[in-house]
Structure 1
């Protein structure tokens, strides 16, 4: 009974500190908007922003190539030769493959 009385006296003396600690634990770890989840959300936002930048640069590059293809017939020939291995009637094409080890 003496231990129970000493615990009760400790709680009565430090009730505001205990309530503040319980509140901090609930807000910091257990709540739906906890600090841990907010940190995870910030990481995900940063990751998605880098992806947006990557896709934006790809879009700019593709738009640039499309404009070049529309304006320059030599660019169409270059792409046809390199990408689709097309050739003129009097040409031979040699394709070299690298060993992937």
Structure 2
């Protein structure tokens, strides 16, 4: 019984501090609105904001291309030729490659 008296005495004198510390730990670490989850949500918000900015820039570029296609009929043929390798009926296309051919090993040199 003598071992329990100092513990009970400490608890009875500091019960408010103990409740405040336990409550702060519960709210700050374990709760759904804890500091950890708030930091994770903040990081997630910043990543989503970056994606929003990226998609807004892409939307503006696509809108400019679409306006160009609506104004200029030659832009359609330009895109068809560059992206889809299409050609007019009266023209020939020659594809030139700058790729280097791999050197083949010669069996007689060995």
TM over 0.5: yes
Q: Kindly report which structure 2 residues correspond to 1:13-92, keeping only aligned pairs within 5 A, or say none.
A: 13-88=13-88, 89-92=90-93
**Unmatched segments (≥5 aa) in structure 1:** none
Which of the pair is proportionally richer in helix? Answer: 1
**Unmatched segments (≥5 aa) in structure 2:** 100-110
**How many residues are treated as equivalent by the alignment?**
99
**Greater CA deviation, 89-98 or 77-86?**
89-98
Equivalent residue, structure 1, for 2:107: none
Look at both structures and tell me which one has the larger radius of gyration over its CA atoms.
Answer: 2
Task: Give the distance between the partners of 2:16 and 2:8, measured in 1 at CA.
Answer: 14
Q: TM-score, normalised to structure 1's length?
A: 0.87
Q: TM-score, normalised to structure 2's length?
A: 0.81
CA RMSD, aligned part only? 1.9
| Large movers: runs of 4+ above 6 Å | none
Task: Give the distance between the partners of 1:43 and 1:73, measured in 2 at CA.
Answer: 46
Q: Larger relative CO (CA 8 A, sep 6+): 1 or 2?
A: 1
